[in-house]
Amino acid sequence: MKNKSVFPDMDGAENLALAALRFVAADRQYWSEFETMSGITPDMVAELAGERGFLSGILDYLLSSDSLLLAFTGNAAIAPQEVTNARHVLAGDIPTQAGEA
């Protein structure tokens, strides 16, 4: 039997990215690294939090470090592959169900 990856729908991908944002924002070191990498400051987050590009960027940041990815996925009790799959959905790399934009 083939092992098939399960991709979340857009809402699921967005919710996972928002959980990742909360995780990163709760840790000064993680936030400082993200801010340096992205140029996004705390006062910009409220405006950007609903944008898929920003949410995808949060997941890119998690995926940039195995230790960070494992810290988040351990905290969220999910598999690391779920972060990768959500990132693909947010980036539009995976077709979503009809009607989702």
Work out whether the CA dihedral 40, 44, 46, 47 comes out positive or negative: negative
Confidence of residue 95 (pLDDT cuts 50, 70, 90): low
The Cβ-side half-sphere exposure at 41, using a 13 Å CA radius, reads 1
Say what the pTM is.
0.84
Q: Examine the pLDDT at 99 and tell me if it is beyond 80.
A: no
Q: Examine the pLDDT at 97 and tell me if it is beyond 70.
A: no
pLDDT in tens, 31-84: 999 999 999 888 888 888 888 999 999 999 999 999 999 999 999 999 999 999
CA distance 100 to 1: 30
The token pair that represents 21 in the structure block:
């944002």
Higher pLDDT, 30 or 3: 30
Note whether 79 and 73 are within 8 A (CB): yes
Note whether 96 and 86 are within 8 A (CB): no
